[in-house]
Structure 1
Amino acid sequence: MRFVCCSQLHNNDFLGGSSHRPVRPLDWMAVCLLSALVFAVAHRLGLASPYVVNDDVRQQLFWMARWLDPGLYPSDFLSDYAAAYVPAGVKALYFAAAKGFGCDPILFSKLLTGGLFVLLAASLFGIGATLEGPMLGWFCAAMAWAMPYFLKNISGGLSRAFAGPLLALFFWAWLRRSGRGMAWVLLLQAATIPYIAMLCAGCACLDAVMARLTDRPAAPFPARPVHGLVLAAAAAAVLGMNQALAAKGYGPLVGRAALAGDPVFGPNGRLDLFPLPNPFLDLVYWPFESIGLFLEWGLFPGIATLAVLAPMLWIGARRAPWRDYIPLYRPAAMLLAGSLGLYALARAIALVLFVPDRYISYSINLLYALGLALCLRWFFGGLLARRFGGPALLALAVCFGCWRLSGVGLYDYRADAPLCSAVAALPKDALVAGNPKDLDNVLTFGRRNVVASFELAHPWSVGAWKIMTPRLGHQLEAYYAKDSDTVREFARVYGVTHMVVREGDYAPKAMEKGPLFAPFDDRIRELAAASGKFALLDGAEFPYTSPEPGVRLIDLRRQPDAPRGQASPE
């Protein structure tokens, strides 16, 4: 595929450089290789250790290990819900990696993250190259390296990882007026990240309607009968996933009335979803946090970096030939208008369309990135005209990206490696209970089913939450019980074979800061305040091994009234 300049820019040596030449295959190769380098350096710890992952990997991917070992994760609510929660296109990729190449899901999630990061940078390069040529293309690609927002959401190779790259790819096809390209990308979105498919379809249809109401050229998509079929197929995929969740008893998504009345959605709840945040945070504050060095150096240094950047952007904006970028304005305006419309609707009927900020955050960060690239490209016009100016800026951008993106979107769980190794040695049909926050690692790295974990506690999924709530409640009653009979009864009812106990969970400080989330915190404090000692800390009643300091692994199979068939080791 050959791309040429789409605009005639000023022939001024101060601004120009080599922006007029067509993009060559070597440019694409360089963009991909340098982006892969930035990713590899930034996520070097994740690539080196299976225990350094994105935190949400622990709720969506663990069950896929069944494809490598069918004995893992016998059918259970958590594993079945997690499987239903992942879109079909994402499942297909991981299935192909597991069955075709024997690739572990956690490892593949890291490789997929790198591939999607490269796709994002290449798509941004394509946007810049379509507008002007390779010069602007490089500045656009550098925004993927310089803004942590993108890699933070790509990290983990989950469904949301496809949002940024596929939105940029869709926008690139839109800018090129490629209806076929937009159609294919929309289908990919429907299979991997449904709410972005809704967003892009809505924005494209808005463009088509506005074109009919004005004297503007017709929209590239939808423009043909086959495009209607594409829209129908995308809608069917999105609705089909929602219906499948509902049919299995996990849906629907919670409504605004429930949001307002349940503390689980409040500041001390599972996620701080209500009251909904001020739109200023979604539109300005959070995006600018990714532009200034707030995350790395703090508030005042972040403000200082914005103060340094502001005059550079002002000078670049004054130098830029904005009339030559007219092809950008209409798609950008339609994307922004459509995103704001869906964002407003999602806030009005929260959370029926899921979390409202999903409909604006990707779009606004993409548009900010393009604006930054345009202004910086013209600010550095004089330097680019010099012989080594371009290569020097490129090297600086790569180094900056390697530094700024280091560890973005990753969490280090290596401290629990001994515990997870001990759990992995248990029979494959073992069922583990404990503190839900510990059970995420047990579930993912220990590869054993658990009663209820923190990451899979989704109060926004009405049906799933009805199933999860009693499991969480009973597990916590047993974990903080003062009598051993409560623990044994819990194990008998649920078929629990082992419990993981972290001794620090029973300390007064743990109770003060909030042991889990509302509304369970109050009940946990009640249990802790009752007279007596915590049953699970009685080594005589519940013998244990200690895979790591301060952590006990208790075998409940030898307890009185242990479930039949689980009273002896495998």
Structure 2
Amino acid sequence: MLILQLQKFLTTPITQKSRQNQSRFTVIFWYSLSLTFAVGYILMGLKKAFSSQYIVGDDAREYISWMYRYFNPDLFPGDLIADYFQSVTPIGYGILYKVIAALGIDLTFFSKIFPIVLGLITTSYCFAVCMQILPVPMVGFIASLLLNQSLCMHDDLFSATPRDFIYPLFLAFLYYSIRSSGLGILIVLALQCLIYPLIGFVDLLILALRLFRWQNGQITISQNRKDYILFAAAIIVTGIVILPYAIQSSQFGPPITAAVARTMPDYWPGGRVSYFSHNIINYWFFGRDSGFIALIAPPQLLLGLLLPIILKFKSYFPLTKEVNDEVKLLLQAVIASLIMFFTAHALAFKLHWPSRYTHHTFRMVLAVAAAISIILILDATFRWSRENGKQIFILGTIIILGAGLVFYPSSFSLKVFPKTLYVEGKVPTLYNFLQKQPQNIVIASTSGEADNIPIFAQRTILVGKEYALPFHTKYYAQFSKRMIDLINAQYTEDINQVKDFIQKYHVTFWLLERSAFLPEYITKNTWLQQYQPAAQQANANLQKSLPVLATLINSCAVFETDNLVLLKTECIKVVTKT
């Protein structure tokens, strides 16, 4: 009797008739539990987000810094970095933050709390998609649990970048596709193209694949006129929405070609991007930007690979008769993602990084497929146990399964969960000092702390490692020139070269680390080593004598901490000799 009740609660489908009575409680229970875990994981991440005033998502510094122009249009005047990231920020994402700024809400604060909204929407659509494919509420719970664990093992809900929106929007697209809701599909597609256009291409390909049917071992073409109307409308929507963004993002030149990228240390291990690899397996499979199964975790997601096998042996898994034919949408999503993945490789880098087309969609598809596989296997195990009187076996299976799914984040294999990649600004006094300076100041620095100045002080920096994206030719050509000039000026003995640099880039302050004039500061800094021969020459200069800037620290410093010194360039300009 106990086994029968457990089977009914865990693996029995919700039929149209049963939805009106006692099974409604089952749906509410599993859906509520799904939301509970989602919120719990997110709150664990937000604990770090609000542990200090000066904390922000690592990549959020690129996207949110320039948006403070919404509060004050005079910020970042003539700022190359701000102008570039404004141009590559998807239009819909920019509009969202513009609305938030109009409401008077601090953008950094909003970026920290919005993951709650995204997490709830993601979980809800994940649960709904599962209920459409296999109406067993526990499938929705397991799928959303695995997906939320996967998202929290990376920073895909906490990054405060456009990619956070991939998950709720793509799952919504799958849901409305299963429901054959043309209006829902077009609305979600438009939003996807506005906020993260890359996945819009995957959506479009899925609609194209759905024009074909597999029947009796043959491929046939849909005879439904509405399918073609929907596909044509989707193409029009995609074109209308993406074209303005394509024009906007092209102002800093076309993307760097693969041939040129291969000659740049930025694209190899240790570089800013690390796209290429001498290990071909790593390059095609696991590379963060080049591999098609990059960042697939937790390993439980791989149970989704069992689904095609299980569906082939339906006699052993009776619950498969309840699986909706729309389960094929999962395969269509995989095929569409792979087509875009290989297309992006072939056109490198016109369609951005290839992995962006697979590792997000694969995680969602695998989470749903894994949940379905688990329930189909569990149901078969229930039936076998009942027939063979193995109650202890099925009870043990349930306990082990539940513990493995729920307690995995606290296992020894995960050192950090959730992984938020929040960055904490370590020098509040520096940000406060700079905020009191005129809005048109420019700070030159090779220090990593410079990356935090735009977001925390809203002041312009000349260069910064976080903003050194070697993607668009015009932007990176200017950025590289600045970086090389900065290294040359920082490590020269010639005061005139320093003055020329200051005048050329209108530098107001020079931020130095106290260790900047030690040889290992250059030799062990992979970022500086990308800019040759400037880095080698700087190291050679250090071997011979002390650079002129090092001799001016005491006389020109206007701000100091244990490791940082801020020099005012007006003081440097009046120096006549070393």
Bigger mean CA deviation after superposition, 443-452 or 471-480: 471-480
Summarize the alignment of residues 309-388 of structure 1 with structure 2, pairs less than 5 Å apart: 321-378=319-376
1:452 aligns with 463
1:237 partner amino acid = V
| Mapped contact 1:186–1:200 kept (Cα < 8 A) | yes
Q: Hey, what's the Cα distance between the residues in 2 that align with 1:517 and 1:73? A: 25
Per the alignment, do residues 346 and 434 of structure 1 end up closer, same or farther by CA in structure 2, a change over 3 Å counting?
A: same
Q: Secondary structure at the match of 1:415?
A: coil
Match of 1:552 among 549, 565, 574: 565
How far residue 485 of structure 1 moved from its aligned partner, in angstroms, is: 2.8
How far residue 211 of structure 1 moved from its aligned partner, in angstroms, is: 6.8
Note if 1:490 corresponds to 2:501: yes
- What TM-score results when the alignment is normalised by the length of structure 2? 0.81
- RMSD, aligned α-carbons: 3.8
1:391-435 CA-to-partner distances (Å, cap 9, x unmatched) read 998898666558867341323324233333332332222111111
2:386 aligns with none
Match of 2:58 among 55, 58, 67: 55
Note if 1:16 corresponds to 2:3: no
Identity value in percent: 19
| Mapped contact 2:292–2:341 kept (Cα < 8 A) | no
2:107 aligns with 105
| Mapped contact 2:212–2:221 kept (Cα < 8 A) | no
| Mapped contact 2:523–2:529 kept (Cα < 8 A) | no
Q: Secondary structure at the match of 1:272?
A: coil
| Mapped contact 2:453–2:459 kept (Cα < 8 A) | yes
1:204-233 CA-to-partner distances (Å, cap 9, x unmatched) read 11221457983476689x726365234212
| Mapped contact 1:498–1:554 kept (Cα < 8 A) | yes
Q: Secondary structure at the match of 1:412?
A: strand
How far residue 456 of structure 1 moved from its aligned partner, in angstroms, is: 2.0
| Mapped contact 1:480–1:524 kept (Cα < 8 A) | no
Q: Hey, what's the Cα distance between the residues in 1 that align with 2:7 and 2:221? A: 31
Q: Hey, what's the Cα distance between the residues in 2 that align with 1:187 and 1:76? A: 31
Q: Hey, what's the Cα distance between the residues in 1 that align with 2:142 and 2:112? A: 26
Per the alignment, do residues 157 and 268 of structure 1 end up closer, same or farther by CA in structure 2, a change over 3 Å counting?
A: closer
1:555 partner amino acid = K
How far residue 361 of structure 1 moved from its aligned partner, in angstroms, is: 1.1
Q: Secondary structure at the match of 1:500?
A: strand
Gaps of 5+ in 1: 1-10, 294-305, 563-570
Q: Secondary structure at the match of 1:69?
A: coil
| Mapped contact 2:37–2:145 kept (Cα < 8 A) | no
- Answer with 1 or 2: which has the greater Rg: 2
| Mapped contact 2:292–2:359 kept (Cα < 8 A) | no
Q: Hey, what's the Cα distance between the residues in 2 that align with 1:395 and 1:425? A: 54
1:225 aligns with 229
- What TM-score results when the alignment is normalised by the length of structure 1? 0.82
Q: Hey, what's the Cα distance between the residues in 1 that align with 2:539 and 2:273? A: 24
Bigger mean CA deviation after superposition, 135-144 or 272-281: 272-281
Q: Hey, what's the Cα distance between the residues in 2 that align with 1:16 and 1:159? A: 41
1:242 aligns with 246
Per the alignment, do residues 335 and 315 of structure 1 end up closer, same or farther by CA in structure 2, a change over 3 Å counting?
A: closer
How far residue 352 of structure 1 moved from its aligned partner, in angstroms, is: 1.5
Bigger mean CA deviation after superposition, 450-459 or 317-326: 317-326
How far residue 287 of structure 1 moved from its aligned partner, in angstroms, is: 4.4
1:290 aligns with 298
1:480 partner amino acid = Y
Q: Hey, what's the Cα distance between the residues in 1 that align with 2:78 and 2:111? A: 23
Gaps of 5+ in 2: 384-390
How far residue 289 of structure 1 moved from its aligned partner, in angstroms, is: 4.5
1:408 aligns with 419
Q: Hey, what's the Cα distance between the residues in 2 that align with 1:324 and 1:278? A: 40
How far residue 50 of structure 1 moved from its aligned partner, in angstroms, is: 4.2
Q: Hey, what's the Cα distance between the residues in 2 that align with 1:393 and 1:539? A: 65
| Mapped contact 2:208–2:231 kept (Cα < 8 A) | no
2:283 partner amino acid = N
Q: Hey, what's the Cα distance between the residues in 1 that align with 2:449 and 2:57? A: 16
Per the alignment, do residues 394 and 216 of structure 1 end up closer, same or farther by CA in structure 2, a change over 3 Å counting?
A: farther
How many residues end up aligned between the 2 structures?
A: 535
2:169 aligns with 166
Note if 1:534 corresponds to 2:517: no
2:146 aligns with 143
1:532 partner amino acid = S
How far residue 115 of structure 1 moved from its aligned partner, in angstroms, is: 1.7
| Mapped contact 1:68–1:104 kept (Cα < 8 A) | no
1:350-387 CA-to-partner distances (Å, cap 9, x unmatched) read 11211111111112222221232223335555899999
1:108 partner amino acid = F
2:453 aligns with 442
1:334 partner amino acid = Q
Q: Hey, what's the Cα distance between the residues in 1 that align with 2:337 and 2:293? A: 17
